[in-house]
Chains A and B, each alone.
Chain A
């Protein structure tokens, strides 16, 4: 296992392009990461050489593609250390994975049952639960976020009770970069008999995830933030949890047998994978998982932290800058506002300097409200970013600020 930033960067074809006559500085990886050659090649290779529909095929191409598709499931299993591949469900993305749980697990809920979320959740981990509030009278409770962007764990303890059925929180915030104490959250929830779903979209990119060590009931993430393709995501579930879940969507692939008056369902994972899956995307995600596992992940994390520290040092003392999210041990996400400017202004000017950042609510309106802002700009770092890029960002931001001073 190695990690050489220069070698890594060379594996991402897109990073050599220019934007507005300047070298691209891509700092929007928390929204979607770029893809390494290994992922692109795996998808092209399958498309060009052995593409067919998966499962139940009796010809060579179908067998080859099925093997690659199920091989991708095994790669993902190893990535998160799931017990079996039957616990790795391919979904359209993390949103789809959370909707699956909300829809299927939600069937067992009754009015007055409680679901605990947090103020820092992405809308994809809020809206599906609002459906249950609207449709079943489920009560939603939100763990408050402290001023530094960490969860108020005392308040969390107080929210838990005999009616708590599920705790659904982000493992790492897409805005604040806060890495939440997942193991403690799981223990506290289990102590009152509640299940736990972790939204791992950001966390899986930056840290080694072991779902067994976390003892988590459900873990959801998307492929495209993990250097894989869009259109594919994963829901991990404990075997006994998945066995108890009714199907999500109906269609081919997910049935045991179908008659005119009765139906039986397949076992997990196929019970939850109705219809032809995103085959090429799953294979791409498998390649991304293998690629990530080939890296020294501690070195990756140290590199990303180094980039974050660098911009903090470079922008230290800038009295026009406000950072949101300063929790200890946070990941390399920098959410900020510039005095006198809207985040949208800053993102537009930075783009002219070739620097790609995101601006807006980051699909986290409750969190924006919590910090009394309508939006923020956000620079998010990935393993392919360099110290020179951190400097370029700091320089461009300092210059952008002069437009509004």
Chain B
């Protein structure tokens, strides 16, 4: 099934894809992901709460959802693992500041495939990222229902 991807989010994916196109083998890609994670603003201790925790196993993942102007949803996230934090940085670039319908129309798995990070969004519970996408989509659905 081909998902409908709207302008802004797709443009961001294009930007990410061109950044990743400059990278060579998987080692460079992983190093870049780790760097993206390092540049992500960490959540505060209070934001790293159980309520904001997304279920993972090996590493911990937190997500904060904040409604923004014009019905968009803002997201901030964090993890105690570097690679996961880098992948979160990518997810946030794609999802944060978008309208719920844009979020729900977006196929994150296909996007990660395009970036050559296919394994990152596996449905394994050890990887909190998959659950993070689910939580983002749930929050978007709830916001759409309220609108």
Q: Which residues of A contact B (CB under 8 A)?
A: 20, 341-345, 347-349, 352, 359-361, 374-375, 403-404
Out of A342, A352, A361, name the residue touching B26 (CB < 8 Å). Answer: A352
A344 touches B58 (CB 8 A): yes
CA distance A349 to B34 in the complex (A): 11
Out of B31, B34, B57, B83, name the residue touching A360 (CB < 8 Å). Answer: B57
Known contacts A349-B30, A352-B26; A360 and B82 CB within 8 A of each other = no
B34 touches A375 (CB 8 A): no
Q: List 21 A-B contacts (CB under 8 A).
A: A20-B26, A341-B82, A342-B59, A342-B79, A342-B82, A343-B58, A344-B59, A344-B83, A344-B84, A345-B83, A348-B83, A349-B83, A352-B30, A359-B126, A361-B57, A374-B60, A374-B80, A375-B58, A375-B59, A403-B31, A403-B82
Known contacts A352-B26, A359-B58, A374-B60; A342 and B81 CB within 8 A of each other = yes
Shortest distance between the CB of A24 and any CB in chain B (Å): 16
For window 77-112 of chain B, which residues contact chain A by CB distance below 8 Å?
Answer: 79-84
CA distance A20 to B25 in the complex (A): 12
Shortest distance between the CB of B2 and any CB in chain A (Å): 29
For window 46-88 of chain B, which residues contact chain A by CB distance below 8 Å?
Answer: 57-60, 79-84
B59 touches A404 (CB 8 A): no
Out of A20, A345, A359, name the residue touching B82 (CB < 8 Å). Answer: A345
B58 touches A404 (CB 8 A): no
CA distance A168 to B110 in the complex (A): 48
Chain A to chain B: the 6 pairs with minimum beta-carbon distance, closest first: A342-B81, A344-B59, A360-B58, A344-B58, A344-B81, A359-B58
Q: Which residue of A lies closest to B80 (CB)?
A: A342
Q: Which residue of B lies closest to A377 (CB)?
A: B58
For chain B, give the interface size range.
10 to 19
CA distance A347 to B83 in the complex (A): 11
Q: Which residue of B lies closest to A404 (CB)?
A: B82
Shortest distance between the CB of A250 and any CB in chain B (Å): 33
> What is the total of A-B residue contacts with beta carbons within 8 Å?
49
Q: Which residue of B lies closest to A375 (CB)?
A: B58
A403 touches B126 (CB 8 A): no
Residues in A with CB closer than 8 Å to B82 are 341-342, 345, 403-404
Residues in B with CB closer than 8 Å to A360 are 57-58, 126
Shortest distance between the CB of A167 and any CB in chain B (Å): 30
Residues in B with CB closer than 8 Å to A352 are 26-27, 30
A344 touches B30 (CB 8 A): no
CA distance A359 to B80 in the complex (A): 13
Residues in A with CB closer than 8 Å to B31 are 403
Shortest distance between the CB of A367 and any CB in chain B (Å): 16
Residues in A with CB closer than 8 Å to B80 are 342, 374
CA distance A322 to B66 in the complex (A): 39
CA distance A352 to B116 in the complex (A): 13
CA distance A404 to B79 in the complex (A): 15
Shortest distance between the CB of B116 and any CB in chain A (Å): 12
Residues in A with CB closer than 8 Å to B83 are 344-345, 348-349
Out of A341, A347, A349, name the residue touching B58 (CB < 8 Å). Answer: A347
Residues in A with CB closer than 8 Å to B26 are 20, 352
Shortest distance between the CB of B121 and any CB in chain A (Å): 13
A403 touches B34 (CB 8 A): yes
CA distance A137 to B24 in the complex (A): 61
CA distance A341 to B80 in the complex (A): 9
CA distance A199 to B15 in the complex (A): 54
Residues in B with CB closer than 8 Å to A359 are 58, 126
Shortest distance between the CB of A352 and any CB in chain B (Å): 6
Residues in B with CB closer than 8 Å to A343 are 58-59, 81
Shortest distance between the CB of B111 and any CB in chain A (Å): 19
Q: Which residue of A lies closest to B60 (CB)?
A: A374
Residues in B with CB closer than 8 Å to A342 are 58-59, 79-82, 84
Shortest distance between the CB of B130 and any CB in chain A (Å): 14
Known contacts A360-B126, A404-B34; A345 and B81 CB within 8 A of each other = yes
For window 18-48 of chain B, which residues contact chain A by CB distance below 8 Å?
Answer: 26-27, 30-31, 34
CA distance A359 to B126 in the complex (A): 9
CA distance A352 to B31 in the complex (A): 13
Residues in A with CB closer than 8 Å to B81 are 341-345
Shortest distance between the CB of A199 and any CB in chain B (Å): 21
Starting from the known contacts A342-B81, A342-B82, A374-B80, 16 additional A-B residue pairs (CB-CB under 8 Å) come to A341-B81, A341-B82, A342-B58, A342-B79, A344-B58, A344-B81, A345-B81, A347-B58, A348-B30, A349-B30, A352-B30, A360-B57, A374-B60, A375-B58, A403-B82, A404-B34
Q: Which residue of A lies closest to B86 (CB)?
A: A345
CA distance A356 to B12 in the complex (A): 34
Shortest distance between the CB of A396 and any CB in chain B (Å): 12
Q: Which residue of A lies closest to B120 (CB)?
A: A348
Residues in A with CB closer than 8 Å to B34 are 345, 403-404
